[in-house]
Amino acid sequence: MGVLAKITAKGQVTLPKEVRDRYGLKPGDRIEFIEENGKTWVKPRNVRAVDLLGILGPAPNHVTLNDEELERAIEEAAQEAAAEEDERIMREWRKGIE
């Protein structure tokens, strides 16, 4: 498939109607430009998180936490994320000094 579009002086492009229709794009939707191996791909990004609500079925109702348990779970998750980020930074730093 090849469809032509023109770039305006402001660097804007109007997506042809057949492309908008094919991907269900509407005004205000977002698209992503992906560069790979010297080519640029355009990917629709018009799915909002709220559109995915319930896609995996209802949320389990057996998980209940009191305030202390919730705070502890948040703290543990934050510590785990920080540790993973520290490890990533150290890997990159070691690469840089090799």
**Strand, coil or helix: what is 10?**
coil
Q: How far apart are CA 22 and CA 44, in angstroms?
A: 11
| pLDDT in 10s for each residue of the chain, 98 residues | 578 889 999 999 999 999 888 888 888 888 888 898 888 888 888 767 777 777 777 766 777 788 898 899 999 999 999 999 988 888 888 887 76
- Model pLDDT, residue 1: 58
Using left for φ > 0, alpha for ψ between -120 and 50, and beta otherwise, residue 11 falls in: left
- Model pLDDT, residue 82: 92
CATH number of 1-49: 2.10.260.10
- Model pLDDT, residue 9: 95
Three-state SS annotation for 16-69: CHHHHHHHCCCCCCCEEEEEECCEEEEEECCCCHHHHCCCCCCCCCCCCCCHHH
pTM of the prediction?
Answer: 0.43
> What residue segments make up the domains of the chain, in order of their start?
1-49, 60-98
